[in-house]
Chains A and B, each alone.
Chain A
Amino acid sequence: MKKIRSPRQKKKILKIRMAAAALAAMILVLTAVFAEAFAPNDPYKTSAALIRTAPCREFLFGTDNLGRCVFSRVLVGARTTISATVFLVAVSFLIGTIVGMLGGYFGGILDEVMMRIADVMLAFPQMVVAIAVAGILGGGLAGAMIALGITMWTGFARLARSHTLSIRNEPYIEAARLCGVSPVEILGRHILPNILAPVLTSALTQIGTTMIGISGLSFLGLGVVPPQAEWGSMISEARAYIQIAPWAVLFPALATILTIVVFNYLGDAVMEYREL
C-alpha cells in the first residue's frame, strides 16, 4: 500500500533529494576544477609501450591507442566538458532571460522582432543547426559552443517572456510604476527575482542536453580538437578499437552519463520542490 505523505513530509524528502543532487553536482564541478591535481598521470603523455593497457592499479581506467592514461584524461576532460557546458548554459540563460524580460515587459516592435528571431531559430532542429554552424566555423570548442548557443538562448527567452507577461500587470508592478521606479529597476528588482526560479530550473535541466550536444559535436569531429581531452572526442577516437580496448570508450561514456544524470536529477528535484 502506498504511504500517504503530508506536503511538509514531501518537502522534507525533496529537500534531501535536492541536497544530495547538489552535493553530487558540486563534487563533479570540484573534480573538474581540480582535475590536474587529482590526475595520477599526465593525460597527454603518450607511450608506445603502454598502448591499450587494460585497467590496472597504475592505470585505473586503462590506456588508449596512444598509451595515454584514460582515467587522467577523463578527469581533465571533465574540466573541458563541464566548464564548457556550464559556461554555455550560463551565457544562454543570461542572454535569453534579458531578451525575454525586455520583450515581455515592453512588448511592441522590440518583442515582435526578438520573438520572430527566436521562432526562426526554433524552426530548425537544434543539432542540425549546430552541425551546420560548427561546420562553417571549423573545429574547436569555441565554434561548438557558438553553434549550440545560437539556438539555446531562445528557450530561455520564451520562458522568461511568458513569465514576465504573466506578472507585468500585477498590482505590485503597477504600484512600483506609480512610485516612480524606472523600467530598468522594475525589471531588476521586481520581475527578475520573481521569474528567476522557473528559468533557473530550466537552465539546470538544460545542462544535460547541452553536455550531450557538446560531446556529440566533438564526437563528430566538430568540437574539441585532439589531443585536448574531452569526453565526446575521447569516445570518438576510441570507437575505432572498441573491440580491442572497450575501456577507452566505456569510461568517458560512463562519465558523460553520470554527469548528465546528476544534473538532470538536480533539475528535476528543484522543479518538483518548486511545484509543491
Chain B
Amino acid sequence: MGSEEIILGGIQLNKTYKTKERIVRPLQNIDFCLHEGEILGIVGESGSGKSTLLRVIACLEKADSGKLLLHGREYTGSSPSFAGRYMQMIFQDAYASFDPRMKMIDSLREAGRRNTRGAAGKNCDAAALREAGRRNTRGENSKDCDAAALRKPHRRGGTDDSRITEIVREVGLSEDLLWRRPRELSGGQCQRMSIARALCGGAEILLCDEITSALDVTTQAQVVQLLQRLRRKEKVSILFVSHDLALVGSLCDRIMVMKDGVCVEEGSSGKILGQPENEYTELLLKSLILL
C-alpha cells in the first residue's frame, strides 16, 4: 500500500463526445485520487470511460469540466508535454506505441532527453514547491506558481545511455534489444520496453491502459510482477486500467468500478472483491466466477 500523500487527483471530471447521431458521455462527475506508491485499478466493461479517463489525466484530451490535481496543485488544461514530466502512459498496443522506423534505443533516448536537461533532484522539487506556495499566498498568478512548482521531478538524475541500459535490465530485458525495431521484439518484450521508456522519462506515475490484454498469461504475470517491483523499488504510483477484475484484484490496492462514464463503486481491493455494494460490481464478480 502507498503512503497517505495524494500524488494525483481528479475532481468532478466530465467529458462529452458529440457525434451526428448521439451524445456520448464517457466521464460523468468522476472523482478519484492516487496516493504515492499506490496502485489504483480502474475496471469496467468496454466503453465505460476507463481509457478516456487516462487520456484526460495525461492531458491527451481535455475534460469539459472538472479539475486535475498533481501534488495538490491544479494542472487542468496543461499540455501533454507538461503532464509527461510526471506521468507516462503505457498503451495497450505496445508495438503501436513505438515509432516503427526507430530503434528502441532512439525511442528511449528521446524519452530520456528531457530528463537529462535538468540537474535537480527530488529535494529541489520540494524546494520549488515550497517557494511556489509562498508566492501563491502573496497573491501572484496561481498558474505561474503551479508551473514553477511542478518542474520535472528528475528523480533519477538524468538518463544517459548507461542509465538507459540499467533501466532496460531493471525491466528484465537484455540491452541487445535496444538496437532492434519494435517489430523485432515479442509483445511482452515490447510492453516491458514501453515501461522502460516511461522510467527513462522520469515518470513517477504510470498510466497503464489495458497493458496486459494483448499478452499471454505467462507474459501477463511477468509484466504484473514488474509493476509490483517498480512500485516497491522506485515508489512509482500506478493507475491500472483493465477489464480483468481478477488481475486488478491481485495487483491493486484500491479499485474503482466504472460503468457508462460513472464511478459506481470505489474501495479497497478486498472490499470490492469481498463485499461489493453495487449491483454492477456484483455482476462483474459473478461473470468472473462463471469464467
Q: Which A positions have Cβ atoms within 8 angstroms of B? A: 170-172, 174-182, 189-190, 193-194
Contact = CB atoms under 8 A, between A and B. Distances in A.
Contacts of A193: 99, 101
B89 A175 contact: yes
Which has the most chain B C-beta neighbours within 10 Å: A177, A180, A194?
A: A180
Contact of A171 (B93, B101, B111): B93
Interface residues of B, number: 27
Interface stretch (B39-47, B79-87, B276-284): B79-87
A178 B197 CA distance: 11
B88 A172 contact: no
Contacts of A181: 81, 110
B96 interface: yes
Interface of B: 58, 60, 79-81, 83-85, 87-89, 91, 93, 96-102, 110-111, 113-114, 194, 197, 201
* The 4 nearest A-B residue pairs measured at CB: A178-B84, A171-B97, A177-B80, A171-B91
B99 A178 contact: no
A179 B98 contact: no
A208 B150 CA distance: 56
Nearest to B209: A171
A178 B107 CA distance: 12
Contacts of A171: 91, 93, 96-97
B80 A172 contact: no
A192 B104 CA distance: 19
Contact of A180 (B58, B84, B93, B98): B84
B98 A174 contact: no
A177 B98 contact: no
Contact of B110 (A170, A174, A179, A194): A179
B97 A172 contact: yes
A179 B116 CA distance: 12
B96 A172 contact: yes
Given A174-B89, A178-B89, A180-B81, 11 more contacts: A171-B96, A172-B97, A172-B99, A175-B97, A176-B99, A177-B80, A178-B60, A180-B114, A189-B99, A189-B102, A190-B99
Nearest to A173: B99
A217 B98 CA distance: 47
A177 B81 CA distance: 6
B65 to A, nearest CB: 22
A177 B91 CA distance: 14
A189 B99 CA distance: 9
5 contacts: A174-B97, A175-B197, A178-B80, A179-B88, A189-B110
Contacts of B100: 172, 194
A255 to B, nearest CB: 38
Given A193-B101, A194-B101, A178 B96 contact: no
A170 B101 CA distance: 14
Contact of A178 (B81, B93, B101): B81
Which has the most chain B C-beta neighbours within 10 Å: A170, A172, A176?
A: A172
B97 A179 contact: no
Contacts of B201: 178-180
A194 B83 contact: no
Contacts of A176: 99, 110
Contacts of B84: 177-180
Contacts of B102: 189-190
B114 A178 contact: no
A179 B89 CA distance: 10
Contact of B60 (A170, A174, A180): A174
A171 B210 CA distance: 13
Contacts of B80: 174, 177-178
Contact of A170 (B81, B96, B113, B114): B96
A170 B99 CA distance: 9
A185 to B, nearest CB: 9
A175 B102 CA distance: 13
A179 B114 contact: yes
Contacts of A177: 60, 79-81, 84
Contacts of A178: 58, 60, 80-81, 83-84, 87-89, 201
